[in-house]
Amino acid sequence: MAVSIPLDSNQPKNKLSSIADEQRKKNFVINDYKTTNEYTSTNPDAMADGDSKGKGTGIFLDTSNDSAGAIGDIVKRKEAFAGAKFKPTNPYTTPSA
């Protein structure tokens, strides 16, 4: 049977520890997502609304939506389809018998 030993993350109080604490505070990214603003599939920062943050549309498994993706994704997708023979307006289909 495995024995669980509690983890002690306390550091000794010395000069090195105080410098590490200061640097840790500087290096941790500020988390904007709290319980009142959770990051979910419908959070404004997750939605593809023309900015560089959001990628989704809020619709489950929405993979064929031209407005999905950040602005850079949308521009690159349009560039990729510009010279394509098959695109949303001219889809590839199987020949009829």
Measured from the Cβ of residue 48, the count of other Cβ atoms closer than 10 Å reads 21
> Over the stretch 46-56, which tens digit does the pLDDT of each residue have?
888 778 787 87
**CB-based contact 56:46 (threshold 8 Å):** yes
The model scores a pTM over 0.95: no
The stretches of 1-97 forming alpha helices (DSSP H) are 15-27, 71-82
Q: What was the pLDDT predicted at 12?
A: 76
Chain segment 50-95, per-residue pLDDT in tens: 787 878 777 777 767 777 888 888 888 888 878 888 877 788 888 8
- Interatomic CA distance for residues 71 and 1, integer angstroms: 54
